[in-house]
Each structure stands twice: as C-alpha cells, then as structure tokens.
Structure 1
C-alpha cells in the first residue's frame, strides 16, 4: 500500500539478512548481516542471536552500521547460529526472518600412519578415506603413488565415493601395488582448500596358487619345464608332449597357496597313467583341484 510521505508509519523491511557461509581462514576478516527498513520516524535496530537479544556493547567485535550487524574476526565456536534483525519506531516493531551464520572448515587428516593393505590379484577391495572434520561436503580423489598422479576413477574398475571418500576397486591387478592417499577438497565461494591423508601401502599377491604335479609318490615331482612336461600356472593342467613307457604311474595335482607368510598346500586324488608301446602323442592331464584354497 502507498504511504503518505508526511504521515507516520511503522517499519517495513526493504532488506532482510541472508544466511552466510563463512570460510575459516578467509582473508576477509568480517561478516556483515544486512538489515534495512523504511519507517517514519526512522527505525532503530537491534539484533537477536539464537532467540536472545544480542548486547552489542558486550563484545568489541560487534558493531552496527545503519541497521547492518558487522562481526569482526568471526569465530565458529562463538558466532555460529541464527540471527534476526528487529526494526522499531513509535508505531511498532518488525522482526526479520532468521539468517544462519555457518562456518566452512576443513581440518587436516589424522597424522597417524595407516596400516598396509594386502589383497589378492583379481579380487575387489576398498581403501577407506576416513576424512577429517569438515563443513560443508567435500569432493574426493585419490593420489596414486605420488602427486599429481590420481587414480583413473570412473573407468569401470576404480570408483571414488563422493559421499564417504572411499576408494573402491573392482579387481586388483599386480601393477596396482603402491601408496594411495585420500585427497579431499573444500570449495566455498572462491576459496579452495585441499588436504590429503597419510598413504596406505597396497600389496597385491598373485591369485595365491602355484601348481606342480606329484609323480608316483611324494616328494617326486614331474620335471616341468624340460621340454616334454609343462604345468600351466593358469589352469594347473599337466601337458606331456610325448609319453614314454617309464611314465606309467599315478599323478596328483599339487596346489600351493602363499599369502604373506602363510603357505598351505593340498593335492588331488591320483590319476593313473597308462602308456601303450606306441604312445607318441601329445595330451593334457586335467587339474581337478579347485581353483582356490580356503
């Protein structure tokens, strides 16, 4: 409604305070919460913090410029909260909407060393980020081995959660061995801050299995690699290029798992090999052992 310039009227807000996210460590050393009201006679201003009247004379960091509240060198522990402006003249008082003063911050990662992680080739794994205290949310990447080499997140094998910061790897490969650090970045307005964690050493074991074949009885093994005998370290199968009569006997697949300092071996039931006198052919003996040990 129109107001006659000569008549008295109560305060009407022209500008109310807006919420502020203030970056800790910012070169800007003050926060200004705006408030302006039209009134006749002119309004006086006061402020509430968290519903309680703010005594501007109680802290030299507070000052009032027209209706604006200025907080010099704001501190999260003392100044974060909800603020409201009140404009008053003899005709009445109006109170503004709430404006939140929040502080953006990103602490350093824990200085504690991180435990190494040992995984098996071909098996998926997770490296936790454990980000430091922060507000608001962060973006995450992972340093691979050394800066500025980052893991190729999003290529189908690597995935970095933008919620937890954890690194997920669908399948471990031997070249993945090395140090990995979580790299967290905070962006508030034009201020960017990044921190990174202590490294996690990743070790990748082969699939844990190696194969040999017992010939007749333990500990006599077939002489794999001599040109006539060959043991596949992928399938465990025994290949014989040429069968001779002395080869007759029982054969067992002997599988060994080595993870860190733990070794475990098992062997299959025997397969009886018979050789005809004209046995000049090539044939495989199948590994009937499971592909992994438990």
Structure 2
C-alpha cells in the first residue's frame, strides 16, 4: 500500500530565544514509508533538509527537530515527503516563522475625559508585534477588568476598552496588557508567550446629572474576529451599544435560523460560531433593547472563506531545485490573511483492470475557484496524446498498464490563496480468474416452475469471458440473451426460468481471460414448489377481542420454510407491531 498522510505538518511560531522547534508529519503505508523534508527560503532557494546540511537538524520518522533555531537560517516554507516502493506523496506546505513583540511607548498619554452617564472608550495602542496578540486590561495595577461582573464594561478583540455608561467609580488609571499569540492556527512553541504592559492611562470622569438614554450601537460594531473569517475557525461577532443600563442583547440571521452550534458570552454581546462552515455566513442582526420601546439594531454581512494560513516572508515564486517537487505555489507578504481550497470530493484509491480506461476526478471548494494540477509520485503529470487527458479536476488514463501507471497520485487544488492536496493509490491489476473467495454454491435448490440464478463471481483482471456446462456438456449460451429459458447474463451468471426436473444436475462455470482460465462447480436440485394447503378465511371479530387467521403450507421435506403475512399488501412486522402474533 502506498503512503498516505495521517498527520499533516502544522506551521510553527518560534520565539527568538527558543532552544528548539520541530515540524512533524506522520504517514502510513505498507511497507512503512521513509521521509524527506524540504525548505524554501525567502530567496526562493529550495533545500533538502538533512543533518549533513546542518548538525542542528535531526529528521526521525517524519519529525524534523531544529536545535537553536534562528530566523536567518530556519524561517521559510517546509514540505514533508513520504515514500515507499509503491509511490511518493507530498504534504501541505507549512511555515516556520519567528514571533516578536515590541515595547509600549514610554510616554504618558493624555487622560481620557468623559462625562458621567456618557459613553467612553480607551485605546490600547499596542507595540509592534508578529504575528498577533490578545488583550487584557487592569485598573490601578491591581484589579483585572471584569466585564462579566460589570456589564457596562467591554473588552473588544480590537483591543479597546469600552464603557457603555461611565460611572464616577470608573475613574482611575487603566493599563493595557498584550500577549503574543499565533492568531491563525499555527502552534506557538512557547508555553509562556511574551507579554507587555502599557503605562497607566487615566480615565477622568466629570460629574453630570443622571439621564436615561440609548441604546445606540457604537460605530465600531458589529465587529468580526478574526478580521477575515475562515472555514474551520471559531468566529466571534461582537456587538456593543451605548446607553443607560440595563441593556438586553439578542441575535438573529436574516432569512435563516441561527446555526444550532452557536453560543454566547459576555452578556450575549459576543456570538461565537465554532468550527465555522461556509453555509454559516449570512446577514447577522444584533438587537439591543433597554425597554420594550427603546431599542436599536444593526446588521452585518458575514462571509466565510476557506481555511487560512499565513506565510512567513514575501516569496516571489515557489520553485524547487528538485524537479520532482511541485513548483506552482506562490505566497504573499507576512501578516496577510490567506485562504486555500478544501476538497469536497477527494481522490479515492483505484483498483482497475489492465488495458482498461480510468476517469479520475477530484473537486475542491474555493473562492476564487481553484485551478488543478495532477502528480504521480511527485512528478507533474502532463497530457499525452492517446494516453492521458487532463481537464482541470478530471484526468483520463487510457490503456492502463502496470509498469507505466501504478503509483501514488495527487490532485492539487490551487488558487491565489494557497494549495491543498488529495492523495490516492492506483493499482493496475492483471491476473487469471480464481474462485478462492466466491466458488459456486455446492448445493442450490430451485422450485419446480420457478426461477433460479446460479452466481459465477470469480476474481479476475481484466474481466473474463464465461462459459457454462451441465453434467460436463457445454451449454453454448450467448451472453445477453433475453428470450431463452436458459440464459447467460452479461455478468456471467446463469439464469434459468420455468424450472423443470430435467434442470437438476451439476453445473460448471469457466472463466477465462488473457492470463488463464479457471472453473467452479455446483449442483442444482429442482424440487416441488411450496403450496398453501390451508389458507385464511374471512372472520368477524369484536373490537378489542382477539382474532385468529390460519395458514398451513406444504413444502418438500428438504426445504426449510417460514411464514410471512401481509395486511392490505404491506408486509407485517411482528417486532414493531406487538398486537400481531405469529
């Protein structure tokens, strides 16, 4: 069996001072596959990564370990290769990039001034970071801001701290805390990613007369996170309204029900869509009410794209010194969100007859639509007149040959956002017929005047021709005959209608192809047909009383039989309908 990836590699975010990082892929096959790893750098150089290249590299059973990684030597795009005697497959390309987090500006910011009972917000103004950060706030160097306990407070994924309605007790100094995160599904190598805390930012609250106002949904909302929602991610829709408390939040989707998997947090100001699918998109409406007559709402059109990944550098073109590797992938600059296709109809393993024709198709979902390339054992497949035809996601191979066509095939779906592979094995089969798994039934019984089919199902490649004999005498039947009493069907089975006693005997099926022939023999016994000697008769029964209908059948002694009853033409199920008993 050719290799298939059980675990694809995952992109890594490495800290500058990390002692070690690793990329791992796991493939299965028989015999077990061996692995290679390739790296493409910012300068478009493709390298076979081995310990002979650098003693810091160790490749063991699909796991590449890099000791003391550095950005100049180790950042880039990596691809795992698994190979055994049946073929070669390539993993999805992943990246190793280096995370950084700068320092907050060492300048005291001007106070944020707000009137009591009005709205307010404090911006974080985070330091430079790569690739992403998450936010938290503290007040007076001691207490974390707790919106779950204070519904007039809200910390958005954009980093801002919002006040729906400012109170005098909110006055004080606030500190923004940022912590580095991958932000895109990559793995952070550090268990304790770096974090930074800003200088205090003062909120000054001026006294004002109480007022009842709102709700008014802030111009910053509805806010979606991540900014480019991707299939497979947990998507957050945030909604915040200003105004006097209490404020009640609710959500709906125009023209469609909300997905059943959604859940809410933060007083229903955040709607979560876990493991988002494309069909979870639509127009989402946030409704905020203070009373039955004071309310407002805002709609947001959510469009979900395919699965995302990020590339570490600006790479003009993904080319390879090793010509067996794909050379059609292109990437964009760091930090840009990207989408790539995913397969709705992946390739399936194929076992086909020698000399036959295979039509193989794959289909990926992508926006914009994907282009397709085909690979055999890592080599790009090109059109060959009279042998191989390729039309995007459909490949036709004619005149299949074991030596030329056996191997591992991959369909690659690519658009400007990335590339996805689907892998499968093609085995071209050629061998003589045999009946080891499905010999003819040794003893088969048919009813006088009835029909019988004697199955002949050998294993053979290519598909064999069939001939039948009875008691050693050839029947000389024509395939596909539809009028004779004794017929050879197109699939090779023998069909006999209107059975008579003379049809009893020993039947032999012989299957033959270019590699040889083989036979299997079984006996057919024709018996008298079953009959109903005592049938049911009409009977009148009082409601809620028990009624009995009799049936007595007769069959030849060598045949087992069962009784079945129908009511108004429908078979009675005695297990489901307990008021019937047999």
Does residue 179 of the first structure (1) align with residue 173 of the second (2)?
A: yes
Q: CA deviation at 1:143?
A: 1.1
Instruction: Give the gaps of 5 or more residues in structure 2.
Output: 182-187, 210-582
Q: TM-score, normalised by structure 1?
A: 0.53
Which of the numbers 158, 165, 182 marks the counterpart of 1:164? 158
185-194 vs 197-206, which moves further: 185-194
* C-alpha contact (below 8 Å) 2:3/2:33 kept by paired residues: no
Residue equivalent to 2:126: 131
* C-alpha contact (below 8 Å) 1:124/1:169 kept by paired residues: yes
Does residue 65 of the first structure (1) align with residue 60 of the second (2)?
A: yes
Residue equivalent to 1:45: 36
Over residues 190-216 of structure 1, what are the superposed CA-to-partner deviations in whole Å (9 max), with x where a residue is unaligned?
Answer: 4354321111122222239xxxxxxxx
Does residue 94 of the first structure (1) align with residue 95 of the second (2)?
A: no
Over residues 157-183 of structure 1, what are the superposed CA-to-partner deviations in whole Å (9 max), with x where a residue is unaligned?
Answer: 11111x211011122333332211112
* C-alpha contact (below 8 Å) 2:5/2:25 kept by paired residues: no
13-22 vs 192-201, which moves further: 13-22
Which of the numbers 18, 24, 29 marks the counterpart of 1:33? 24
Distance, in Å, in 1 between the alignment partners of 2:109 and 2:120 is 16
Residue equivalent to 2:324: none
Distance, in Å, in 1 between the alignment partners of 2:26 and 2:117 is 62
* Root-mean-square deviation over aligned CA pairs: 3.6
Residue equivalent to 2:220: none
Which of the numbers 76, 80, 85 marks the counterpart of 2:80? 85
Distance, in Å, in 2 between the alignment partners of 1:14 and 1:202 is 55
* C-alpha contact (below 8 Å) 1:105/1:134 kept by paired residues: yes
Instruction: Give the gaps of 5 or more residues in structure 1.
Output: 2-10, 209-294
Cα 1:89–1:170 shift into 2, 3 Å: closer
Which of the numbers 137, 143, 146 marks the counterpart of 2:141? 146
Q: CA deviation at 1:156?
A: 2.5
> Between Structure 1 and Structure 2, how many residues are aligned?
197
Does residue 24 of the first structure (1) align with residue 15 of the second (2)?
A: yes
Name the SS of the counterpart of 1:175 in structure 2: helix
Cα 1:83–1:118 shift into 2, 3 Å: same
Cα 1:124–1:48 shift into 2, 3 Å: same
Q: CA deviation at 1:66?
A: 4.9
* C-alpha contact (below 8 Å) 1:121/1:173 kept by paired residues: yes
Q: CA deviation at 1:61?
A: 2.8
Name the SS of the counterpart of 1:146 in structure 2: coil
Question: Structure 2 matches for 1:188-267, cutoff 5 A?
Answer: 188=188, 190-191=191-192, 193-207=194-208
* C-alpha contact (below 8 Å) 1:113/1:199 kept by paired residues: yes
Distance, in Å, in 1 between the alignment partners of 2:145 and 2:200 is 14
Distance, in Å, in 1 between the alignment partners of 2:171 and 2:20 is 46
Residue equivalent to 2:69: 74
* C-alpha contact (below 8 Å) 2:14/2:96 kept by paired residues: no
* C-alpha contact (below 8 Å) 1:44/1:67 kept by paired residues: yes
Cα 1:73–1:15 shift into 2, 3 Å: farther
Over residues 214-242 of structure 1, what are the superposed CA-to-partner deviations in whole Å (9 max), with x where a residue is unaligned?
Answer: xxxxxxxxxxxxxxxxxxxxxxxxxxxxx
Name the SS of the counterpart of 1:191 in structure 2: coil
* C-alpha contact (below 8 Å) 1:16/1:85 kept by paired residues: no
Distance, in Å, in 2 between the alignment partners of 1:193 and 1:55 is 30
Distance, in Å, in 2 between the alignment partners of 1:44 and 1:138 is 35
Q: CA deviation at 1:23?
A: 4.7
Distance, in Å, in 2 between the alignment partners of 1:97 and 1:128 is 39
Distance, in Å, in 1 between the alignment partners of 2:23 and 2:37 is 14
* C-alpha contact (below 8 Å) 1:181/1:196 kept by paired residues: yes
Distance, in Å, in 2 between the alignment partners of 1:124 and 1:107 is 31
